[in-house]
């Protein structure tokens, strides 16, 4: 068993190195360092859906000031673009590690999160759906090429991604499957097309509900633009036959500008956040326009290596009963 686990570790390294290299080339990204913790009360930590609790602790050397373990780096990356004087058309890529203690355990969820977090400076004229779509296509092509290289190196890992990814708005998806829940709609569309980008996630749909939750202060999900698209963000999903379900690999989007930030904070009744340092910087035109996202490293490895549990590609905390039960099913957690 030990040698098989070692082979899995080697395959994980191959997937990560291959995809990160292709992603940097596709989006013109520069690798940078990133924090595990940030100070509380700055507004820099990602709020995800706005309800998850971060891991927090006091720092003795800073007079007990509280620090929080990051959920993701959605806001930090934008500040870093400014600090590094990154120009439009260039971006950064970082190896993000996070803890999300409120995450429910499932075969695809752990309290430990590892992502490729990327952020890219854009021109004001790039705040449109065409630019978002172009970026999605570059990321998806990097995924497609990576899967094919994995299949060449490990012939038992058969490549299954379609060459093209299908685009659909969350409103169009609702109209197509009006009697389905959001998760059922994702399953249906992912199984039908193999790979799909669902855009416009976070705002209220015609049924009075959002497709999924999004914080108000990073992705622009409320914008109606000249082409009739609502929302400049979305998720890359693929169909995962190992789990028989839609499988999210990435969440991304064009980031809020001043107008979108105020609009979305008002929708969420969170205008008090304008007093936080990140939000004040944005409202004072001190941050660059950007697009960015997170791509799950363990998720990508799961899919590329045809694994059925996230614990097969990452080291996390699991209860012993779960380990024993899964081992009987020949699923061995790292």
| Chain segment 74-99, per-residue pLDDT in tens | 888 999 999 999 999 999 999 998 88
**Which value, to the nearest 10 degrees, does the dihedral of the CA atoms of residues 217, 218, 221, 227 take?**
130
Fold adopted by 2-328: BirA Bifunctional Protein; domain 2 (3.30.930)
Q: Residue 73 is encoded by which pair of tokens?
A: 């780096």
> Worst-scoring range by mean pLDDT, 100-104, 170-174, 257-261?
100-104
Rounded mean pLDDT, 197-206: 93
Residues with catalytic annotation?
A: 46, 100, 115, 235, 248, 251
Q: Which of 39, 37, 32 is nearest to 119 (CA)?
A: 32
Which tokens is 275 given? 């007093």
217 phi/psi in degrees, rounded to 5: -120, 20
Question: Is a pLDDT exceeding 60 seen at residue 317?
Answer: yes
pLDDT at 3 over 70: no
Segment 239-275, tens digit of pLDDT:
999 999 999 999 999 999 999 999 999 999 899 989 8
Both tokens of 18, joined, read 């291959």
Question: The tokens of 22 are what?
Answer: 């292709």
Q: Is 26 helix (H, G, I), strand (E, B) or coil?
A: helix
Tell me the pLDDT of the chain averaged across its residues. Answer: 89
Classify 196 in phi/psi space as left (phi over 0), alpha (psi -120 to 50) or beta: beta
- Strand ranges (E), the chain: 29-32, 37-39, 56-59, 65-69, 91-99, 112-121, 166-169, 195-199, 233-240, 245-254, 290-296
More confident residue, 323 or 150: 150
Looking at residue 138, its pLDDT comes to 98
CB-neighbour burial class of residue 320 (10 A; exposed 0-12, middle 13-18, buried 19+): exposed
Residues 6+ apart with CB under 8 A from 331: 308, 309, 311, 312
């Amino acid at each position: 068993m030990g040698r098989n686990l070692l082979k899995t570790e080697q395959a994980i390294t191959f997937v990560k190195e291959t995809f990160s290299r292709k992603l940097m080339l596709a989006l013109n990204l520069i690798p940078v360092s990133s924090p595990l913790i940030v100070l509380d009360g700055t507004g820099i930590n990602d709020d995800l859906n706005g309800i998850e609790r971060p891991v927090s602790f006091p720092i003795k050397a800073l007079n007990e000031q509280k620090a929080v373990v990051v959920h993701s780096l959605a806001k930090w990356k934008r500040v870093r673009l400014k600090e590094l004087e990154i120009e439009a058309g260039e971006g950064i890529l970082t190896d993000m590690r996070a803890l999300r203690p409120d995450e429910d355990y499932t075969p695809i969820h752990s309290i430990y999160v590892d992502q490729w977090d990327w952020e890219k400076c854009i021109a004001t004229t790039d705040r449109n759906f065409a630019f978002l779509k172009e970026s999605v296509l570059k990321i998806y092509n990097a995924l497609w090429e990576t899967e094919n290289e994995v299949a060449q190196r490990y012939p038992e890992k058969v490549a299954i991604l379609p060459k093209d990814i299908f685009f659909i708005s969350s409103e169009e998806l609702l109209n197509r499957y009006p009697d389905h829940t959001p998760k059922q709609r994702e399953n249906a569309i992912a199984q039908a097309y193999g790979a799909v980008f669902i855009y416009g996630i976070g705002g209220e749909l015609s049924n009075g509900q959002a497709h999924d939750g999004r914080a108000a202060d990073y992705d622009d999900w409320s914008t109606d633009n000249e082409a009739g698209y609502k929302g400049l963000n979305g998720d890359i999903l693929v169909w995962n036959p190992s789990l028989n379900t839609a499988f999210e690999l990435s969440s991304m989007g064009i980031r809020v500008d001043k107008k979108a930030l105020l609009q979305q904070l008002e929708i969420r009744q969170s205008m008090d956040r304008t007093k936080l340092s990140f939000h004040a910087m944005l409202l004072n035109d001190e941050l660059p326009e950007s697009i960015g996202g997170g791509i799950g490293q363990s998720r990508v490895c799961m899919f590329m290596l045809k694994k059925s549990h996230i614990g097969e590609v990452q080291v996390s905390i699991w209860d012993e009963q779960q380990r024993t039960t899964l081992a009987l099913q020949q699923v061995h957690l790292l």
